[in-house]
Structure 1
Amino acid sequence: MKFTVIGSGAMGLLYGILLKDAGNEVDFVDGWKDNVEKIREQGGVYVSRDHEDKHLVDIDIYYPEEYQGNPDCYIFFTKQMQLAEMLERCAHFFKPTQYAFTCMNGMGHIEKLAKYFEPQKLIAGTALVATVLNGAGDVDFIGKRGAGSMNLANYTEKPDEFTHQLVTELEKAQFHPTLTTNFAGTLLAKVVFNSVVNTICTMFEMTMGEYAAYDGAEEMARQLIDEAYDVCERDGVKLINTRQDEVASIMYVSKEAMPLHYPSMYQDMHNYRPTEVDYINGYLVKIGRRHNYDAKTHAFLTHEVHLAELGKQRELKQQQGETGS
């Protein structure tokens, strides 16, 4: 099968490289100039696992404007706030026969993708896998290979032959996919997961394992999960896990599967980039308000993250001022 990864950051490189290792043909498209030029200069991307065995992997990477490939499926891994612009830059090479697949964090991407791909060609999911982009052309996969898992579903909730082929290739790449027929419930399950782990670890600058080791971690998770499930139930969405299952999943993944991992929101904050909190906790707040339900804890956390972003921007300006002087 031939894939083209659009958005070649930490997650895009993880999926693309492992699918390539599994015998697929994979191209990479990215709009970040530093990344594209560094990979071309190096002759590939440097890949580590848990900070060890750093080695160069040969990949073909393109800017959107120069790409002319014809894959079976596009894999989208941009940040939520970057997707609309990237789709516009890539639209010239999309074809009606091609599929779109994504496991992006947060919510808001499906509506954007649906403007370019027919419902029967759109597949989305959630990924409980960890990876870190150390810098342009340098990625670190976190955890033992095959330690993570993922869920995916068709937008139409009617799996076709291509979907089953995709699941087979993801299994070969050791992503351990589970195919569901509950599209909204599948995607929102990861939003709920991230609304706890990503946000708390970011605010307190800690790994998932450090968070889970705190005596009150489970109580904090339960409060956020209860609010999130209240929102989803009011919106008519049945999540794929029970409330207790979701608490258990957060604690297990944080303690056992990815204890050393800093979530992507933390990585954005640490590197002075805008976070996706509005597409995670903020999304739950917005949906709740549609139904006259106030997800107060999620709203408070959303404000806290934005305040922290302002603090990081002040810190960046101070550093730039010192450098300039």
Structure 2
Amino acid sequence: MKYTVVGAGAMGLRYGLLLQEKAGKDVDFVEPTAASLEKIHAQGDKVFQSRDHKDRHEVPVKIYSPEEYEGEPDVWIFFMKQMQLADTLKRLAPKFKKGQTALGAMNGMGHIEKLEKYFDDEHIIGGTAMIATILNDYGDVDFMGKEGAGASVYANKTEKPSAVMDQVQKDFKEANLNPSYSDNFMGTLLTKVFFNAVENSIATMFQSRMGQLMAYDNFLEGVARPLINEAYDAAEAAGYHLNETRDEMVKQVDYVSTVANPLHFPSMYQDFVKGRPTEVDYINGWIADLADKNGVAAPNQRLVTNFVHLAEAMRQFNPPINKLSPDYQGN
């Protein structure tokens, strides 16, 4: 199976590099961000790969702009910011062929509706990845955690088995992406969204690592649970059922914060400290909108959305410290 990864950011590079290195698959990259593409071309069509800030080495890649790409993959893997996807799909539209599958494992919600404009339901896979990765710079990716750390879950939009899903599961397992299959499409997607509505947004507001949030001894019950309860209320009102209970989601926040990735800065923080817009509207804002549409209240989700936007606005007065920088000496 041939794969084309659209978006050479942190997760796009991790998926693509692991598929070509560990699973031996033919992988192309399509990078819609001109500055990133130029940097990787300037490096000789190579990217730098590290693990936990160590063993930094070059890896050759095949990378193209949307306009110049002529490959014909079996599966397109989309990993980019939600606000970039519509334009990228428009640029790539002439390249899509009948029978190709789109796999979206992006943060937030909104991408499935965009993919539906170009791919039918039988050729759309949704997924979530609990895999910590940092983009140090364009063309410079850092895998966080031990090899094989993290896990991912995938569901067909039809919620029925398929030969493509079987092959994706096999290839992703060989790539150390620890995949599993779900027959609950929306429940699978919302698992990551609801988790990110706590960890990503709160860690970004306070410019902290995930584990540092636990310094507040009432973080789980005083912060995480109210946000999780509102998210579940909205989902249940809309007729969606998650793969985890509310208590299991709180336990997941606890586990990731204290055991799995306590030193990790979430992707939203990575955008925040680099002066880029965050995806909070596609996470907490999306949950708040879902609640409004279905007649339930989610004031905490709306407040967090506004707080993150306030933090973005305050960057002009109080520039954030980039704790991801190799020069940073603090905690």
TM category, shorter:
over 0.9
User: Number of matched residues?
Assistant: 316
Alignment check: 8 A CA contact 2:8 2:139 kept? no
- Contact kept, 8 Å, 1:272 with 1:313, in 2: the verdict is no
Tell me which amino acid in the other structure corresponds to 2:17.
I
Q: Which residue of 2 aligns with 1:10?
A: 10
- Of the structure 1 ranges 304-313 and 148-157, higher mean CA displacement relative to structure 2 is found in 304-313
Shift of 1:66: 0.2
- Give deviations 1:2-44, integer Å, cap 9, x for gaps: 1000011111001100111111010000111221122122120
Out of 188, 199, 202, the residue aligned to residue 200 of structure 1 is 202
SS for the counterpart of 1:34 is: helix
Tell me, which stretches of 5 or more residues in structure 1 are unaligned?
A: 317-325
The aligned counterpart of 1:117 is 119
Aligned-partner SS, 2:277? coil
For the structure 1 residues 313 and 119, does the alpha-carbon distance in structure 2 shift closer, same or farther, using more than 3 Å as the test? farther
| Identity fraction in percent | 52
Deviation at 1:314? 5.1
C-alpha separation in 2, matches of 1:141 and 1:303: 31
How many Å separate the matches in 1 of 2:92 and 2:155?
Answer: 24
**Using the alignment, how far apart are the partners of 1:198 and 1:57 within structure 2?**
29
TM-align CA RMSD = 1.0
What are the residue-to-residue correspondences of 1:76-225 with 2, within 5 Å? 76-219=78-221, 220-225=223-228
Q: Residue 283 of structure 2 corresponds to which residue in structure 1?
A: 280
For the structure 1 residues 86 and 253, does the alpha-carbon distance in structure 2 shift closer, same or farther, using more than 3 Å as the test? same
Q: In 1, are the aligned partners of 2:285 and 2:302 still within 8 Å (CA)?
A: yes
Contact 1:3 1:26 (C-alpha < 8 Å) held by counterparts? yes
Q: What TM-score results when the alignment is normalised by the length of structure 1?
A: 0.95
1:200-229 CA distance string (max 9 Å, x none): 100000001111343112111111111111
2:239 match: secondary structure: coil
The structure with more helix, counted as a fraction of residues: 1
Contact 2:160–2:183, Cα closer than 8 Å, also in 1: yes
Q: Distance in 1 between matches of 2:195 and 2:121?
A: 26
User: Structure 2: where are the runs of 5+ without partners?
Assistant: 320-331
Secondary structure of the residue aligned to 1:66 is: coil
Matches within 5 A, 1:231-270: 231-270=234-273
- TM-score for both structures, normalised by structure 2: 0.94
Amino acid of the structure 1 residue aligned with 2:169: V
Runs of 4+ in 1 over 6 A off after TM superposition: none
- The alpha-carbon deviation at position 175 of structure 1 amounts to 1.2
Distance 1:313 1:170 in 2: 42
Q: Which position in structure 2 is the counterpart of 1:31?
A: 32
Name the amino acid aligned to 2:47. V
Whole-angstrom CA distance in 1 between matches of 2:71 and 2:25? 14
